[in-house]
Amino acid sequence: MNKGELVDVIAENTGATKKQADTILTALTETIMETVSSGEKVILVGFGSFEARDRKARDGRNPRTGKKLTIPATKSPIFSAGKTFKEQVKD
């Protein structure tokens, strides 16, 4: 399912227009990205949580040349599914 299809389903389930559903979905995703980028965690009980985690610097290899290199430390966005979400996917 892509964003357009998700907007259609949200509009159908809520009675909102497609434009309203798109605005709400965009606001939700932007808010989650901004919050996680600032170092805070977003928790949606039953669905899951979004957070940024530190990744340590590590040694790597260029697959084309085989040359060793150091991959610098960075932060990565992480999603952890909640209990309800995990159970629904299992069934």
Q: pLDDT-derived band of residue 28, with 50, 70 and 90 as boundaries?
A: very high
Report pTM. Answer: 0.80
Q: Taking 90 as the threshold, does the pLDDT of residue 31 lie above it?
A: yes
The CATH number for 80's domain is 4.10.520.10
DSSP state letters, 13-67 = HH---HHHHHHHHHHHHHHHHHHHHTT--EEETTTEEEEEEEE--EEEE-TTT--
Radius of gyration (C-alpha) of the chain in whole angstroms? 19
Verify that 35 and 51 share a domain, yes or no.
no
The domain of 15 spans 1-39
The span from the CA of 76 to the CA of 41, in Å, is: 13
Verify that 61 and 89 share a domain, yes or no.
yes
Q: What is the pLDDT of residue 68?
A: 95
